[in-house]
Amino acid sequence: MVTSAVARETVFALRRQIAKIEGTLPERLADPGAEAIVLRGNGRVLGTADRAVTGVPSLDEALGGGLPKAALTEIHGRQIRDAASATGFVLALAGLLMGQPSAKQPMPLLWVGTGSMFAEAGFPYMHGISSLFGIAPQSMLFAEAPQPVDALWIAEEAAALKMLAAVILELPGNPRHLDLTATRRLHRRAAEAGRPVFLLRHSAEIESTAAPLRFVVTPAPAGMRRFLGRPLAGSIGPPAFTVDLHKNRLAPPARFILEWNAHERSFEQRTAEFQDGTQDPVALAPLSQRGTDMAATAGARMAFDLFRFTAAGRQS
């Protein structure tokens, strides 16, 4: 019995050492007598202390315990018009990692983008960021670069700094310099500095990157606010996101409909509810890149019966 236990521990140690040398894909390793840990391709072992919980148990489980605090995470908006949702999702993740505001001066968050990207998607509104995501205006730094290659250089240099809470790199499309090698540098520097780097991409084709996680974010219909446990008619609920976990080395692809709770600073999962009380089932696989989803999406609904018009065209 003792020999068998020693053999298991020896095999476990050898697997970890080989994975570090080869830089292979991460696997979930069960250490005898210890909690599960995650070994990433860069050879760094992550535990629960290296992750931030999102507040959604199913999402945290798929992520191996939460969002990694020292890694490159990729967030895609399918189109430029989805920039608000994708950016809001990134700020929510950054708010989770930065934690609740304290009396001490928080470490700054650096947001890097190009002048054309800020002009297209809009410059961040600090009052809204502070009230929704708990990120103080004095802890936000912005770097506006003339070209994507300049923004990428700034982000790479900033990713190695330990005095930053996080780095957001916002780029449109598929810049030529944003290749696999560049994302490897970003991921490596984030791991060495122990800080997260978020690659926020708008209207970009999916391509190979070194990011262990890739989220594809689109806006979801806002639900109704709840009062005394019941939906409040005519109200608009918190911001909602349809999040496809498109790339994940620890679990299969999955889709989540998340609401951001600005008071608790956490996500809440929900299913889409129609006016008749039925729920829209959520697909477990992301949309195909070469075709449409097999399940037809539900279109927008308008409550025409709320208004009545007379023959003269006036609302009654």
Segment 70-92 mean pLDDT: 91
Q: Are residues 215 and 241 in the same domain?
A: yes
Segment 101-111 mean pLDDT: 70
Does residue 47 register a pLDDT over 60?
no
Contacts of 22 (CB under 8 A, 6+ apart): none
Residue scoring higher pLDDT (49 or 117): 117
285, part of any domain: no
Q: Are residues 258 and 111 in the same domain?
A: yes
* Domain count within the chain: 2
Q: How many CB atoms lie within 10 A of CB 171?
A: 22
CATH code of 231's domain:
3.40.50.300
Nearest to 219 by CA among 202, 237, 255, 243: 243
Q: Are residues 60 and 27 in the same domain?
A: no
Does residue 159 register a pLDDT over 70?
yes
Q: Report CA Rg, the chain.
A: 22
Place of tokens 């003269």: 312
Q: Residue 214 sits in which domain range?
A: 55-280
299, part of any domain: no
Q: What is the pLDDT of residue 183?
A: 95
Q: Are residues 169 and 249 in the same domain?
A: yes
Q: What is the pLDDT of residue 179?
A: 92
Q: What is the pLDDT of residue 292?
A: 52
d(CA 292, CA 305) in angstroms, rounded, equals 32
Q: What is the pLDDT of residue 107?
A: 87
Tokens of 99: 């934690």
Q: Are residues 20 and 125 in the same domain?
A: no
Does residue 14 register a pLDDT over 70?
yes
Q: Are residues 140 and 239 in the same domain?
A: yes
Q: What is the pLDDT of residue 225?
A: 75
Q: Are residues 107 and 155 in the same domain?
A: yes
Q: Are residues 8 and 63 in the same domain?
A: no
50, part of any domain: no
Q: What is the pLDDT of residue 266?
A: 84
What integer best gives the mean pLDDT of the chain? Answer: 76
Residue scoring higher pLDDT (252 or 157): 157
pLDDT tens column, 232-286: 777 777 888 999 999 998 888 899 999 988 888 888 887 654 443 444 444 444 4
d(CA 43, CA 24) in angstroms, rounded, equals 8
Q: Are residues 95 and 188 in the same domain?
A: yes
7, part of any domain: yes
Tokens of 149: 């290659």
Q: What is the pLDDT of residue 99?
A: 67
Global pTM exceeds 0.75:
no
149, part of any domain: yes
Q: Are residues 119 and 18 in the same domain?
A: no
310, part of any domain: no
Segment 177-191 mean pLDDT: 94
Q: What is the pLDDT of residue 316?
A: 47
Does residue 185 register a pLDDT over 90?
yes
Cα separations in angstroms, 100 against 49, 87, 239, 262, 263: 17, 20, 19, 11, 11
48, part of any domain: no
Tokens of 109: 């968050």
Q: What is the pLDDT of residue 35?
A: 41
225, part of any domain: yes
Place of tokens 């895609």: 76
Give φ, ψ of 40 to 5 degrees. Answer: -90, 165
Q: Are residues 274 and 169 in the same domain?
A: yes
Of 23-27, 65-69, 98-102, the range with the highest mean pLDDT is: 65-69
Does residue 220 register a pLDDT over 50?
yes
Residue scoring higher pLDDT (20 or 82): 82
Q: Are residues 78 and 116 in the same domain?
A: yes
